[in-house]
Amino acid sequence: MAEDWQPEFEQLVDEHQSMVFSLALRMTGDRGLAEEIAQDVFVELDRNLRKLESPLHVTHWLRRVAMSRSADALRRRRVRSTDLWVEIAEHHGATVEDRTSPLSVRIEQLLVTLPESQRAAIVLRYQEDMTPEEIAATLDAPLATVKSQLQRGLKLLRSKAEAHLKEFVRGA
């Protein structure tokens, strides 16, 4: 029940910081900006905590706000994909953890070159393992639009991967 749920803010940060940071990172392609967005999202969570009724509600709310803040940040910066490539090389790629395979890193880098709406759908689908219905609810978009964005995004990403990741494909 909503009344029984007593959220602990610090515990919520511990639980969800990875999700929020990863969403922002994959949407912006900039580690520093992603960290700022994640901070803002959690500060806003603190302000809105009383309105949230369950752990599931918190997760849903955090996804929505993280995606929305990331879109705002991208709009403010108006970063072109070429600039993003430089930033990825400088910030993002440099901090990739050992457990991440080079192929995964390159796929992640290609993701940043997709149109924003397709990127959002792809990230929620493959990072958060969400259904198109859940993605539509999170992004406040019609289901048909989300399905179309997923299909187009996947197709575009696949073609980019085929063009840019041949060395990995041959090496595999």
Q: Name the minimum Å distance from CB 166 to another protein.
A: 14
Which of these segments, 15-23, 59-67, 70-78, 133-141, binds another protein (CB under 8 A)?
15-23
Q: Does 13 bind another protein (CB under 8 A)?
A: yes
Distance CA(120)–CA(102), nearest Å, equals 22
Pattern 21-40, another protein, x by CB under 8 A: xx--xx----x---x--xx-
**CB-based contacts of 104, cutoff 8 Å, min separation 6:** none
Torsion of CA 26, 31, 37, 38, to 10 degrees: 90
Cβ neighbour number for residue 35 with a 10 Å cutoff: 13
Cβ neighbour number for residue 124 with a 10 Å cutoff: 25
Residue type, 16: H
Q: Does 65 bind another protein (CB under 8 A)?
A: no
Q: Does 10 bind another protein (CB under 8 A)?
A: yes
Q: Does 88 bind another protein (CB under 8 A)?
A: no
Residue nearer to another protein on the CB measure, 79 or 92: 92
Residue pair 27/71 in contact (Cβ under 8 Å)? The answer is yes
Binding site for another protein (CB under 8 A): 10, 13-14, 17-22, 25-26, 31, 35, 38-39, 42-43, 46, 97, 100-101, 103-105, 107-108, 111, 122-123, 126-127, 129, 154, 157-158, 161
